[in-house]
Amino acid sequence: MSLDLLRFTAGLYAVAAAGYLLYFARPRYTLAARVGGWFLSGGVVVHLAAIGLACKEFGGLEWFTLRGGMVLTAVLLAGAYLLVQRFYHLPSVGAFVTPLTLIILLPTLFGEGGAPGVAPAALRHPAITGHIMTASLGVALFGLAFGVALMYLLQEREVKGKRFGALFSRLPPLGSLDKLTDRLVRIGFLFFTVASIAGAVIARSVWKSAWSWDPQQVSTLAIWALYGGMVQLRHLGWHGRRYALLTVFGFAILMTSIVTLRSVPGLTMHAGEYKGPNTESNK
């Protein structure tokens, strides 16, 4: 049931993406961007309903697998974009972010069942919902920053190369994109930090030690340091192209690490393959 709803959500996102892309290709059709906005909002609502339903079905929001994480990240990414749009009004960003949302959501729609891999009882800790939500939100914001940074790089190529064509006129000014990337990275980093702290607290109570050289922990720390370093570099005056490259690079690493950790069996005890009581539904 929740999987059907998710598929419906993906349909709504696809229409939204088409609307935003049409607006990007033909800026005269401002209606297309508005329609995109409506469908995206509708998609988020249905998406949340699907998540709610899945919670009832699978007994909790403490989703543990790649599939669960992606479902959460996609809705947060779409929601974060809708929020950003309220303040910045850059509908052309939608043409980059909405397809990204769809790409993140699509792999979760196939394969057997829709079990998001709820955390086993052994891991149930009061902080775990907060941990998963803040981590997903951090990833979503980094994803949004990634989309905006890509736009920056594209626009920079046009402006610097004196190609004053369609892209030049449709992409927002470099200054605005740069500022937006920075803010998204900062807020994302904040949530990521909270998620890491919560994770350490949970690890301490479950495994009796906050640090255990688990690949998940190592890569999380590395990514946290990477984004922390970016915030630092910003203070040291890094702007523009370099910063955009870093943002794109950071997100690529983040995605690679998430996908690898979750899809290679037995690599980390944080993945759905955690062997413990009540782990029949882990795919």
Tell me how far CA of residue 99 lies from CA of 54, 105, 142, in angstroms. Answer: 24, 10, 15
Contacts of 155 (CB under 8 A, 6+ apart): 167, 168, 171, 172, 173, 174, 177
Nearer to other proteins, 29 or 274 (CB): 29
Length of the chain: 283
How far from chain centre, in Å, is Cα 112?
Answer: 23
CB of 206 to other proteins, least distance (A): 43
Enter the DSSP assignment of 172. P
CB of 175 to other proteins, least distance (A): 3
CB of 88 to other proteins, least distance (A): 11
Task: List binders of other proteins among 96-155 (CB under 8 A).
Answer: 155
Nearer to other proteins, 236 or 280 (CB): 236
Task: List binders of other proteins among 152-191 (CB under 8 A).
Answer: 155, 159-160, 162, 164, 168-169, 172-177, 179
Task: List binders of other proteins among 217-256 (CB under 8 A).
Answer: 236-243
Nearer to other proteins, 28 or 208 (CB): 28
Q: Is 149 helix (H, G, I), strand (E, B) or coil?
A: helix
Largest CA-CA distance found in the chain, in angstroms, rounded: 62
Nearer to other proteins, 5 or 244 (CB): 244
Tell me how far CA of residue 170 lies from CA of 96, 141, 154, 167, in angstroms. Answer: 12, 23, 11, 5
Q: How many residues bind other proteins (CB under 8 A)?
A: 23
CB of 168 to other proteins, least distance (A): 7
CB of 276 to other proteins, least distance (A): 49
- Measured in degrees and rounded to the nearest 5, phi and psi for residue 90 equal -120, 80
Nearer to other proteins, 81 or 243 (CB): 243
Radius of gyration, CA atoms only, the chain: 19
Task: List binders of other proteins among 12-31 (CB under 8 A).
Answer: 28
Report the C-alpha dihedral over residues 155, 156, 159, 162, rounded to 10 degrees. -110
Q: Which residues pair with 118 in a beta bridge?
A: 63
CB of 119 to other proteins, least distance (A): 43
Amino acid letter at 11? G
34 binds other proteins (CB under 8 A): no
CB of 243 to other proteins, least distance (A): 7
Nearer to other proteins, 237 or 266 (CB): 237
Q: Which residue has the tokens 């990521």?
A: 192
Nearer to other proteins, 79 or 172 (CB): 172
Tokens of 23: 């607006």
Enter the DSSP assignment of 120. P
User: Which spans of this chain sit near other proteins (rule: CB under 8 A)?
Assistant: 28, 155, 159-160, 162, 164, 168-169, 172-177, 179, 236-243
